Every structure is written in C-alpha cells, then in structure tokens.
C-alpha cells in the first residue's frame, strides 16, 4: 500500500490551484462588474430582478457544493469534479454575449454557478490535503489572493477592451472565454490527487440527510447563516456606485480597487487566523463589513464609493480564508469534503433570501434601508460569534 505523504507548507497543488483560480477569475471578472449595468441599461432589469438572478445563481452553486463535497469524500476523488466544474463555467459564461432578455442571463448564470458548485468543495478539500494543518490559513489565503488577483486583471482587461471595441459589451463577454479555457487546461494537466491521510471511511454523511452535523461545526454554521442573511450580492454595490454618480466606464476600475485590496489582504488575514485564532479574525471582518454597509447607506459622493470599495476588500481578506480554515479545523479528514459542502450550502441557502430581500427593500424603501439592514445583521452575527466559547469551536472526536 502506498503511504500518504505529509505535505509541506506549500505544495505544487496549492500553487496550481491558485493559478487556475487566477485565470478563471480573469474570465469571470471581465464580465461581472458590467453585468448589472448590462441588465439594467440594455435588458431593462430592475434591482428586484437582479437580486433574483444572483440569489438563484449563488443558491444553486451552494446546493451543489454539498453534493459534490460529499461525493468527493465517498469516491476519494477530488480532481475530476474540480475539472468538470471549471469546464462547465468556461463553456457557459461567454453565452451572456448572445442574451437578449433577463431570463436568458438567469439561465447562463445558473449554468456558470453550477460549475462553481461542482468544483468548490472538492477543491477546498484538496487544498487542505495539499498543505500542512499549521498552514491552512496561509494556504487558503494564497488561493484567495490569486483568485482576487485575477479579479484585478479581468476588469483591467475589460476596461482596455471596451476602449478598443468602443464599449461593445457583447464582444467583451465573448472574449472572456479565452482565460476560462486556459484555466480548464491548467487544472486538468497539473493538479494531482492527494491520498487522504486517514484510514477512516467518510462518516459525516453516508446518506446526505441522515447523520447530524458535529456540534462545533453546527454552532459555527448557524452564525455564518445569520451573517449571510445580510450579505447580498455585490451587484448591488455596483448599482449603488452608479446611483451615486460613478460612470459605467469606471466600474471595471472600481472593481479593480476592490480586488487589489482583497488580494493584498488575503494571505495576511489567513496567516493572522493561524496565529491568534479564527473566531477573532472572522468577527473583526464581519464588523468591517457592517461598517462598510453602513457607509453605503449614507454615501453621496463618488469619492466616498471608492473609499468604501477599498475598505470592503479588507472584509474579504479577514474572513474568506479564516472561515474555510475554521471549517477544516472542525472535522476529520475523511469528512472534509462534505463539511465544506455544508459550509457552502449554508451560505447559499441564506444568499437567496438575502439578495431577493435586499432588492425588494431597495425597491420599497430605498438603498439606505437595504444597506442598513445588512449592516445590522452583520453586527449581530459578529457579536454572537464572539459569545461562543472557544472550546465549542474545536473538533470533538
């Protein structure tokens, strides 16, 4: 029997998955910052419909993340699901170029997020199996940094191509397929399976709905659910930017600022959670989120929007890596794929009412009430997380 090897702090898979995520996000973020404007200006969709599109898309992804994570545990195969997920996204995403109605964009986003749902939980489990436990925060931080770096390059490419093609959005959306297919080729050719460092069979979910979640994971996911109820799609931030006076042509550059801060803060945020604990770093990030949403409720100038977008990036740096490392901390290796699936499922189930509710609040009472509600929910979640005893956020075996 071949012995499972113990990874160093950074293994080739961590690097390859990071570069793959970079290329995939270049493709995605050539489109996403312009999608709200495309829907509102060219296809006539309002905030409520945009919220529906993004809520359905993200919920679909999260439901599939549970299934794909559980399946990767049962099969002890992560890579095939990761490759299929990136491939589906690469094929479907550029179809936005030929859409003529909002419902068609909904279908394309559904297919794109289905790909994300297939790949995310197995990829996160593979990342954890490709790094030493003491460096999980740093490894996830590196992956998120590369992901966000792609979200810097993508909008810059979009800005340059819009200038070249005289703001023809459909041409830009079609060209976004190129880095997407490069991502598929890279993950297929360079990423390797890592044998699980455990002799135990997966036990968390023999049948996905029968076994209860471990109490530490359940406690953590409950507060994540509450936070996510106030965490609507970022499309509303772009709509708010337009509402305040940021021109459409500047939206890709605004997105660049956001992701520059995300990329720069991801590794420090993940590493900080390795040193001082996940709970403190996550709660701090949620409080930053609350402050930013409070700011969006009151902002009246384009300069204020630029400052808020930059600050918003710090929230991601503090929370994305730390939350995933916290999930990995709470379960045995054989159950890790399903645990990440439940994590993403929690976010997805809350994302649908979050985005739809936010859009309806915006239509009914205006953006200040919608953003203020999100800030209040984030603050409450942060306080509840801090109230959970630290020993309740440790794995029980």
Concatenate the DSSP letters of all residues of 244-277 into one string: HT--GGGHHHHHHHHHHHHHHHHHHHHHHHHHH-
C-alpha dist (Å) from residue 392 to 134, 320, 378, 395, 396: 20, 20, 21, 8, 9
Instruction: Fold for 12-189+213-393, please state it.
Output: Growth Hormone; Chain: A; (1.20.1250)
283-312 per-position pLDDT tens digit: 999 999 999 999 999 999 999 999 999 999
Question: Sorting pLDDT into bands at 50, 70 and 90, what band is 390?
Answer: low
Q: For the ranges 97-106, 138-147, 195-204, 209-218, which has the lowest average pLDDT?
A: 195-204
356, 202 in Cβ contact below 8 A? Answer: no
d(CA 105, CA 111): 10
d(CA 299, CA 111): 35
65, 324 in Cβ contact below 8 A? Answer: no
| Most confidently predicted of 61-65, 75-79, 372-376 | 372-376
119-140 per-position pLDDT tens digit: 988 898 888 888 887 788 888 8
d(CA 21, CA 16): 9
Whether the model clears a pTM of 0.85, i.e. scores above it, the answer is: no
The two structure tokens encoding residue 379: 């603050």
The two structure tokens encoding residue 25: 């996000």
Neighbours of 165 (CB within 10 A): 13
pLDDT at 187 over 90: yes
Angle value at C-alpha 312, between 133 and 30, nearest 5 degrees:
90
- Dihedral through CA 15, CA 116, CA 270, CA 391, nearest 10? -130
Residues across the chain:
397
C-alpha dist (Å) from residue 53 to 35, 58, 70, 217: 11, 9, 26, 30
195-214 per-position pLDDT tens digit: 654 444 444 444 444 445 78
């Amino acid at each position: 029997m071949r012995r499972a090897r113990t990874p160093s702090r950074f293994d080739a898979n961590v690097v390859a998955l990071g570069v793959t995520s970079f290329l995939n996000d270049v493709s995605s973020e050539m489109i996403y910052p312009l999608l709200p404007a495309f829907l509102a200006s060219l296809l006539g969709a309002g905030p409520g419909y945009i919220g529906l599109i993004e809520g359905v898309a993200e919920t679909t992804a999260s439901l599939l993340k549970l299934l794909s994570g559980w399946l990767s545990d049962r099969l002890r195969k992560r890579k095939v699901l990761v490759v299929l997920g990136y491939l589906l996204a690469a094929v479907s995403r550029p179809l936005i170029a030929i859409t003529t109605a909002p419902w068609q964009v909904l279908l394309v986003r559904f297919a794109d997020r289905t790909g994300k749902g297939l790949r995310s939980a197995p990829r996160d489990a593979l990342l954890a199996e490709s790094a030493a436990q003491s460096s999980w925060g740093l490894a996830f931080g590196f992956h998120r940094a590369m992901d966000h770096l792609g979200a810097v390059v993508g909008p810059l490419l979009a800005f340059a191509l819009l200038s070249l093609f005289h703001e023809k959005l459909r041409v830009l959306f079609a060209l976004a397929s190129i880095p997407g297919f490069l991502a598929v080729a890279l993950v297929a050719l360079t990423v390797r399976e890592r044998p699980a460092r455990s002799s135990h069979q997966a036990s968390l979910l023999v049948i996905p709905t029968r076994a209860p979640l471990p109490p530490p994971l359940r406690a953590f996911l409950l507060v994540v659910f509450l936070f996510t109820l106030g965490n609507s799609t970022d499309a509303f931030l772009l709509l708010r930017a337009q509402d305040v006076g940021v021109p459409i042509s500047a939206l890709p550059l605004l997105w660049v600022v956001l992701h520059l801060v995300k990329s720069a803060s991801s590794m420090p945020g993940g590493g900080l959670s390795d040193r001082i604990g996940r709970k403190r770093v996550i709660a701090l990030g949620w409080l930053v989120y609350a402050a930013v949403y409070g700011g969006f409720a009151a902002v009246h100038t384009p300069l204020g929007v630029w400052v808020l977008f930059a600050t918003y990036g710090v929230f991601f740096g503090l929370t994305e890596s730390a939350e995933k490392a916290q999930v990995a901390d709470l379960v045995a290796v054989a159950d890790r794929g399903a645990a990440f699936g439940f994590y993403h499922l929690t976010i997805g189930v809350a994302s649908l009412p979050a985005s739809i509710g936010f859009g309806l609040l915006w239509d009914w009472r205006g953006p200040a009430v919608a953003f203020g509600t999100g800030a209040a929910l984030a603050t409450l979640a942060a306080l509840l997380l801090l109230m959970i005893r630290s020993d309740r956020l440790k794995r029980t075996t």
